[in-house]
Structure 1
Amino acid sequence: MTLLSPYLLLFLLVLPALWWLVRAIPPQPRQQRFPSLILLRTLAPVRQNAARTPLWLLLLRMVALSLLILAFSRPLYIPRQDTQAPQKLILILDDDWAAIPHWAERQQNALALGEATLRSGGHVTLLLNAPDSDGHMPHPFQPSDRVALQQFLSGLSPRPWPGDRQALARQIQELTPDLHDTTIVSLSDGLAQTDDDALRTALRSARRIDDIRWPRCDLIRLAIRQDRQLTAQAETLPNCPEQTLRLSGMTLEKNGHFLPQTSAPLPTGTRHALKDLLPDPDSLDAFSLPSVPGPAGMILLPGRTGQHRVGLLRTSGDDTPLTGSSFYLARAMQATTPYQEGTLDSLLPRHPDIIIATDGSLSGSSLGDMLGWVRKGGILIRFAGPELARQSQQDMKGDDAALLPVPLLSGMRQLGGPMSWGNPQKLAPFPANTPFAGLTIPDDATISRQLLAQPTDDLSHHVWATLTDGTPLVTVRQEGRGLIVLFHITPTADWSSLALSGLFPQMMERLITRTPVMQNRNDTARTSSDSLAPWRILNSDRTLIAPSPAVRPILKASEESVDALHPTGLYGGAAQRYPLNLADHQPPLADEVALGQIRPAGQAVPERPLWPALMLLALGLILLDVFLSLARSGLFRIARRAALVLCLGLLGTASLHAATADQTASAPQAVPPAALAIRLAHIQTGDSATDDAVQQGLEGLTRFLNQRSTTHLDSPVGVVPGQDDLAFYPLLYWPVTPGTHLDDAGRAALKTYIQHNGMILIDEMGAGSDMDGTDGHATRAALRAATEGLPFPPLTTLNDQHTLSHTFYLLHEFPGRIAGQPVYVARQGSDESEDVSPVIIGNADWAHAWAVDQSGEHPFAVIPDGENQRTLAYRFGFNTIIYALTGNYKNDQRHYPEMLKRLKNGDDSSPDGTDESEAP
């Protein structure tokens, strides 16, 4: 033990003087006056007071004073050291992924070693072996005292990528070329790297090298390999005893979190087929070893669905409810597969992986472009129909024949009905080598019409599904690098009942997600698909987070390995994500050759200050002295009450301190994200399709605003009035649907929001328009019921004279996905009114016009003016946000023509002397 202020111990010399002072000045005798001799009879027996302070009380006070003096001298407990602390010490702390096990112990050892050198007046340099997230090595840290070292170490966290020992060797050579008087202590992770020789060469001139190691068999890394089958292995260092871990299979939720689904035991050291461990491993998004910390215990997989970009060719009237082909296909895919609709000219520039063509959607002018796209790696899924049946009657040649998987017979086969002898056929079980294998065929799925394939020698090689009579239902053929798939029926209910069954969506999902997409279709597509931008990064806590700006894209075709600029995570986006794992393209784990003398890691105990405990003990003795003194004076009740008050005070102080500490610790997490950045919000409807579209719309509008102004908005969020605090959002987008309902708490929250200058943009989402297909009465009734009781002002139609129409862009119309719909705002009072409209109501469906998907494309078409109309919709949204943020700051623009006229005349009045501001 040492004292940081030893001179304060001189006050112990005062203790004898205090002893003499207490004995020389005894307590004064108590005096009591008696008013009458009669009262003497009722007096209690006289108690004798001591003439001097008792010895035990005097010793108690001496001990309390001694403890105070010792506390103010700041005693410090120093753990016993086996060796003498060096005067010049370099600590090399491994902080890469392999150092995550025993990380807290590494910090304690580094602190204890550094404290010993600093206490003896030496010099300490701390080096880290893992680069920062920007790819640069962290600068050497040279603490001035123990507190600085402790603060630096407590702020460190291990990096989820490998270290760079070659860069560390260069850093050591630049820092101290001559190490003859320097002691090196390496707190190593024990894992061999390719640059170990460079570090060993840089340290060879050191005076002494100590290599502190932790148990080597605690280092485990999960690896998934694809040989003839998918295998899993829990890798360990050589010659480690086998142990059984728990392998967990997880799925990725929309919010970015992993949800465990199944688990199985996995012995370390050997490979095991995943199909033997977990049921249906293809349906999982990640595997993890819960007992292994960090990214070493987790493997990310490509997504199950949505990995292929899908385009749907459609023709005029193709989406007619209950009869149109696109109507059935859209509902079969909307639950599991994102897709884009359009013509071939609009889809091909977006480089889709799969195009679905209905009967009649392929015209003669587009056959050549379609065939070229297929031959470069695309997948064409076609459906038969009356027009294809008429074409098959002729001798099709060239591109027509090339876009069919098999030759077709003339005419259409009809099963059942008044003109047929047969009955509708059911589906035969799917072959095992097709994407449909394992699907259950319902009894009510029957085929009444189909196109027949010409019998050929190799027809069976092209069949993926048949009827019970053996005739093909789905055929396929490879064309160049791509595939052509043909359903010999329509996707509607007129040729079969398959479209009405639950089997049809399952077949489409299997066909889209399990059909291999050929790579390298063309140069443009290769640039788009091979260079994958980071989407989500896996941190040390195995949580997917947004990547930093320093993270670089990866090349899918190259053997990219994990480093600081390419950390473990998912690349390419949510719709086409590609995983990069820690074990990808890495050699087996091997032991690092010792840099010097190996020392096992002990339980290092840093220096501990003793004065807080001594101070508390001294205060406790002083309180005890006060209590005993009051009790000896006959004031036992007062002493008891004083003791109770002191105890309650101490407990209250401790509770307040604990509560304050808890609030301080939780304060950063208690702050809502909306309070830290400006962002838009939308009221959730409960319908996932609508909420997702609105979220995409506000994302697109936010991106548009950030690119064209100095305003920076963060990502928008969905809120529920009455549950979420609305005070942080300058604008609420409220999509109203027939199912919109607002409870009392939500209505009160919106009322408070409006009264505190909040702005709501209400959108009826095109109710009653041609795109909606309804009369809109249900939506308007839901709007009236939901807004009842809200403090909305009288409304008027928005025109080009309103401030909203020229806040930034000059607008004369305000379309969204639908054009020609009126927009209503609050009726303004006088021309000089500074009030802004708290509500904007429209039916243009702006969210679908603003929407962008993960690839930056617009998934929803706008009618009737296409992209020009979308631009106007974006400009209206831009003006609305600026109007919500700044109010009527441009209200005086209406006076600009008059001001320019006066400047041109050169005076402030009209020619007749009348002030023009007062003229009618």
Structure 2
Amino acid sequence: MTLLSPYLLLFLLVLPALWWLVRAIPPQPRQQRFPSLILLRTLSPVRQDAARTPLWLLLLRIAALALLVLAFSRPLYIPQQNTQIPQKLVLILDNDWSAIPHWDERKQNALALGEATLRSGGHITLLLNTPDSDGHMPRPFRPADRTALHQFLTGLSPHPWPADRQALARQIQELTPELHDTTIIALSDGIAQTGDDALRTALRPAHRTDDIRWPRCDLIRLSIRQSRQLTAQAETLPDCPKQTLRLLGMRLEKDGHFTTQTNSTLPTGTWLALPDSDYLDAFSLPSVPGPAGMVLLPGKAEQHRVGLLRTSGDDTPLTGSNFYLTRAIQAITPYQEGSLDSLLPRHPDIIIATDGTLSGSSLGDMLGWVRKGGILIRFAGPDLAHQSQQGMKEDEAALLPVPLLSGMRQLGGPMSWGNPQKLAPFPADTPFTGLTIPDDATISRQLLAQPTDDLSHHVWATLTDGTPLVTVRQEGNGLIVLFHITPTADWSSLPLSGLFPQMMERLITHTPVLQKKDDAAHAASDSLAPWRILKTDKTLVPPSPAVRPLLRASEQSVDALHPAGFYGGAAQHYPLNLSDHQPPLVDEAPLGQVKPAGQAVLERPLWPALMLTALGLILLDLCLSLARFGLFRFSRRATLVLGLSLLGVTPLQAATTDQTSPAPQTVPPAALAIRLAHIQTGDSATDDAVQQGLEGLTRFLNQRSTTHLDSPVGIIPGQDDLAFYPLLYWPITPGTHLDDAGRAALKNYIQHNGMILIDEMGAGSDMDGTDGHATRAALKAATEGLPIPPLTTLNEQHTLSHTFYLLHDFPGRIAGQPVYVARQGNDESEDVSPVIIGNADWAHAWAVDSNGEHPFAVIPDGENQRTLAYRFGFNTIIYALTGNYKNDQRHYPEMLKRLKNGDDSGTDGTDESEAP
């Protein structure tokens, strides 16, 4: 044991002074003669003062002070070292797949060896033998102290691919001039690999080399052979004892997680035939961690790769397009959801697009994909109904099987004389031939095709009145299919019937392949893009940008740039496993003197325990002194609880078991009251200003409405639960960054009807003083992958402009900046924009300091502009809380006109119910 601050032990010399201190406190009682002894005998003393401090109390106080002095001297337990501590130490830490079973023990040994050298004033160089995910070897790490070494090892994790001994040997050769007086300790995995000879040669100049190893038989690798029948082996190093392991057959679900389907046993070292695995995607040994305990199986070649384009709100239960489509196709084939940019690199065979998912620059990419042999299945909707055939671009018209009439046909309803139409029998030469049409499948709205001479050649399904329901046209080598209705229940009852999933199954499995893809497409299919990568915890995750495609014909083994996982896509996934193209497991020749693991023991600080014990004695002294003065009396139960507390047992643990009750669960404060939230940027000035802005807006809303909001809070997506907040304010700065967890949290928030107000904080304006390119680039990178719908400029007709106040402009601290919201399909749409994007810097206009003053000026209209900014924020909150409930008010003038109401008040387009 050693002391980090030994000079503090001098305070032990003052302990004898405690004798004189306790003699003075309390003072000795004064003797007073009183002749009436009879009166004194009848008195019962309330308080007793001792003439002298009891010896046990004196010893208790001396022990408490002595423990405090020892604690402040910071004693440290140092285990006895069997060997001399090296002054120059090189640690080689294996962090490949074989290091996973004993990874925590490896880090503890490395820390124990390193801190011993650092404490003696030596120097450490830490080398890792496995490349990082970018394929480059990590640079040697030279910690300055134990804290730096501990932080480095804490953040270190093993990689699920083999080591690179050749690259490690080159790093050691760079240290050759320094190795003559250096001790090298290798925390080895014990498995022979390519490059062992080069590593052994590089270690020869060292003064001494030790090889620390863990039990060799703990290393197990699952291998599977695929011939006429699957056979599996749990491979171990030679001469290891036999053991029986549990083998699970796994199936990959659409969310990327595995579910167990079969459960069997597998003896080690023996090839065993596996049961039918046509419906399985992987086999796993649950007792073997990392990719060594899992083998992925190839996808089925006959499956079609299906992609589903999605927009915000598509998966809303009972109303979203994806809600119906996913339930129609999930039992048919695996599929992928996402944007067009994320689906096309996976080479899908079929893409299903709902209304509003095809726009802008994606039209050309989609058209090119169709012409190369893709099948596009489209559904109509309000956006497609409002597009004029004459105003369509060439790519937009090419992605429709037939020309359409502008507008929407209404069948049935209070404003129509007709009745909903049923489906006519399917023609004989279509994929729908033979399907039974239920009587309750009716169509109430549809898009009409323009009458042409060859219209009948493009029709696969019609209504009873002869109007097309499903049309089709060949485009290049591909096919375009259009349902003239939405996939939801608002235009028809077809999605609610059993016919709809049958029609989707026929389209996916029986749509004719018109022509083969060209040679370029075949060449591209030989290069398999990474789809999902296997992590050390046996879960599949999207690949990093550094992962390279896999050539189908090559015998590529697992490495840093080609980790284990699935390549090629969801339907025809091609697996790459750790055991593929690998030799049998063989023991590695010793790199030096072999030593068993566990001999290095970490240093243990003793001062925390001494400090707690001293504080416990002081607390006991205080309680006993108060009891002696009569201030309160100890019961037996209190004495027991106090004693248990000093022994480290809480009163709750010492309570009787028959009266135990579950601990109350904490409720998040955001669940108890409605409040606004803002996404923290990491910049204190910006976050403080946004917090003041939301405080001011909350105060404005609470004073002018019956709504009561609690104080706003700052949140971090991915760490805080966003479900409690109706509106998120997201300030964008040049340093805005969103990690994968935050992106997933915001994506889930938007998809479940959350609303985000995105503010570029005046980037590029005169007040900002920059060109705004950095902020816009940060906004584009941060929103990449979020389900943001097509946007349009906010105008006076939008519900947000008259939710409470009638607004014509939407300024913040800066005026004249456009505001963008989601494009609405039609006037009757009840969709609420999930995002509002602007550059007006509303937060600084709303901000209120602790004195109730506005610390930031607004330009150029001063307080009038600030009032408009508050009103816009007011409308935004009401819009987030109530949605489009005001949409029906735009029909009031027409309704009054039809009723021939002579009173013209309220028919001028204003909203009389609003505040001025």
1:193 corresponds in structure 2 to 193
The Cα of 1:609 is off from its aligned counterpart by 0.3
2:554 to 534, 555, 558: 558
Given the superposition, is the C-alpha separation of residues 846 and 241 from structure 1 closer, same or farther in structure 2, using an over 3 Å criterion? Answer: farther
Given the superposition, is the C-alpha separation of residues 268 and 832 from structure 1 closer, same or farther in structure 2, using an over 3 Å criterion? Answer: closer
2:284 corresponds in structure 1 to 288
Given the superposition, is the C-alpha separation of residues 547 and 310 from structure 1 closer, same or farther in structure 2, using an over 3 Å criterion? Answer: closer
The Cα of 1:556 is off from its aligned counterpart by 1.9
The Cα of 1:333 is off from its aligned counterpart by 7.1
Question: Does 2:109 match 1:116?
Answer: no
1:842 corresponds in structure 2 to 825
The Cα of 1:886 is off from its aligned counterpart by 8.4
The 5 Å alignment of 1:786-797 reads none
Q: Is this contact kept in 2: 1:162–1:562, CA < 8 A?
A: yes
Given the superposition, is the C-alpha separation of residues 182 and 631 from structure 1 closer, same or farther in structure 2, using an over 3 Å criterion? Answer: same
Question: Does 2:296 match 1:303?
Answer: no
2:567 corresponds in structure 1 to 571
- Summarize deviations over 1:651-698 as a string: whole Å, max 9, x none: 999899xxxxx999x99xxx99996569xx999xxxxxxxxxxxxxxx
1:624 to 612, 615, 620: 620
For the pair shown, the structure with the greater C-alpha radius of gyration is 1
1:614 to 610, 616, 626: 610
The 5 Å alignment of 1:391-430 reads none
1:913 corresponds in structure 2 to none
The 5 Å alignment of 1:396-545 reads 522-545=518-541
The 5 Å alignment of 1:761-780 reads none
Given the superposition, is the C-alpha separation of residues 58 and 154 from structure 1 closer, same or farther in structure 2, using an over 3 Å criterion? Answer: same
The Cα of 1:29 is off from its aligned counterpart by 1.0
Given the superposition, is the C-alpha separation of residues 170 and 728 from structure 1 closer, same or farther in structure 2, using an over 3 Å criterion? Answer: farther
Q: How far apart in 1 are the matches of 2:351 and 2:535?
A: 33
Question: Does 2:372 match 1:350?
Answer: yes
Q: Is this contact kept in 2: 1:117–1:124, CA < 8 A?
A: yes
1:101 partner SS: coil
Q: How far apart in 2 are the matches of 1:45 and 1:877?
A: 80
Given the superposition, is the C-alpha separation of residues 55 and 103 from structure 1 closer, same or farther in structure 2, using an over 3 Å criterion? Answer: same
Q: Is this contact kept in 2: 1:79–1:606, CA < 8 A?
A: yes
Given the superposition, is the C-alpha separation of residues 32 and 164 from structure 1 closer, same or farther in structure 2, using an over 3 Å criterion? Answer: farther
2:251 partner SS: strand
Q: How far apart in 1 are the matches of 2:195 and 2:21?
A: 74
Given the superposition, is the C-alpha separation of residues 353 and 190 from structure 1 closer, same or farther in structure 2, using an over 3 Å criterion? Answer: farther
Question: Does 2:242 match 1:259?
Answer: no
1:729 corresponds in structure 2 to 756
Q: Is this contact kept in 1: 2:71–2:611, CA < 8 A?
A: yes
- Summarize deviations over 1:838-864 as a string: whole Å, max 9, x none: 99753599999xxxxxxxxxxxxxxxx
2:241 partner SS: coil
Q: How far apart in 2 are the matches of 1:163 and 1:286?
A: 25
Given the superposition, is the C-alpha separation of residues 592 and 804 from structure 1 closer, same or farther in structure 2, using an over 3 Å criterion? Answer: farther
CA RMSD after TM alignment: 6.1
1:197 partner SS: helix
Q: Is this contact kept in 1: 2:251–2:260, CA < 8 A?
A: yes
Given the superposition, is the C-alpha separation of residues 120 and 649 from structure 1 closer, same or farther in structure 2, using an over 3 Å criterion? Answer: closer
The Cα of 1:196 is off from its aligned counterpart by 0.8
- Summarize deviations over 1:855-901 as a string: whole Å, max 9, x none: xxxxxxxxxxxxxxxxxxxxx999x8646998999xxxxxxxxxxxx
Q: Is this contact kept in 2: 1:520–1:526, CA < 8 A?
A: no
- Summarize deviations over 1:576-612 as a string: whole Å, max 9, x none: 4222211112111111111011111126420000011
One-letter amino acid of the counterpart of residue 11, structure 2: F
Q: How far apart in 2 are the matches of 1:336 and 1:672?
A: 42
The Cα of 1:153 is off from its aligned counterpart by 1.4
Q: Is this contact kept in 2: 1:532–1:571, CA < 8 A?
A: yes
- Summarize deviations over 1:290-311 as a string: whole Å, max 9, x none: 0000111111223358843589
Given the superposition, is the C-alpha separation of residues 261 and 886 from structure 1 closer, same or farther in structure 2, using an over 3 Å criterion? Answer: farther
Q: How far apart in 2 are the matches of 1:554 and 1:199?
A: 29
The Cα of 1:37 is off from its aligned counterpart by 8.1
Given the superposition, is the C-alpha separation of residues 503 and 58 from structure 1 closer, same or farther in structure 2, using an over 3 Å criterion? Answer: closer
1:118 partner SS: helix
Q: Is this contact kept in 1: 2:109–2:600, CA < 8 A?
A: yes
The Cα of 1:60 is off from its aligned counterpart by 2.1
One-letter amino acid of the counterpart of residue 729, structure 1: I
Given the superposition, is the C-alpha separation of residues 62 and 719 from structure 1 closer, same or farther in structure 2, using an over 3 Å criterion? Answer: closer
Q: How far apart in 1 are the matches of 2:59 and 2:327?
A: 90
The Cα of 1:15 is off from its aligned counterpart by 2.6
Q: How far apart in 1 are the matches of 2:187 and 2:243?
A: 26
Question: Does 2:77 match 1:77?
Answer: yes
1:69 partner SS: helix
Q: How far apart in 2 are the matches of 1:578 and 1:48?
A: 87
The Cα of 1:266 is off from its aligned counterpart by 0.8
The Cα of 1:526 is off from its aligned counterpart by 2.9
Could you tell me the TM-score, scaled by structure 1's length?
0.54
The 5 Å alignment of 1:665-704 reads 676=716
The Cα of 1:158 is off from its aligned counterpart by 0.8
1:27 partner SS: coil
1:135 corresponds in structure 2 to 135
Q: How far apart in 2 are the matches of 1:799 and 1:264?
A: 57
Percent identity at matched positions? Answer: 64
One-letter amino acid of the counterpart of residue 146, structure 1: R
Q: How far apart in 2 are the matches of 1:202 and 1:845?
A: 76
The Cα of 1:632 is off from its aligned counterpart by 3.8
Q: How far apart in 2 are the matches of 1:173 and 1:655?
A: 60
The Cα of 1:126 is off from its aligned counterpart by 1.1
The 5 Å alignment of 1:198-217 reads 198-217=198-217
2:92 corresponds in structure 1 to 92
Q: How far apart in 2 are the matches of 1:572 and 1:123?
A: 48
The Cα of 1:727 is off from its aligned counterpart by 5.3
Q: Is this contact kept in 1: 2:801–2:807, CA < 8 A?
A: no
Q: Is this contact kept in 1: 2:329–2:504, CA < 8 A?
A: no
Given the superposition, is the C-alpha separation of residues 44 and 21 from structure 1 closer, same or farther in structure 2, using an over 3 Å criterion? Answer: closer
Q: How far apart in 2 are the matches of 1:260 and 1:637?
A: 62
1:180 partner SS: helix
Q: Is this contact kept in 1: 2:755–2:833, CA < 8 A?
A: no
Q: How far apart in 1 are the matches of 2:32 and 2:752?
A: 70
Q: How far apart in 2 are the matches of 1:650 and 1:561?
A: 59
Q: Is this contact kept in 2: 1:96–1:158, CA < 8 A?
A: yes
Aligned residues: 602
2:278 partner SS: helix
The 5 Å alignment of 1:884-903 reads none
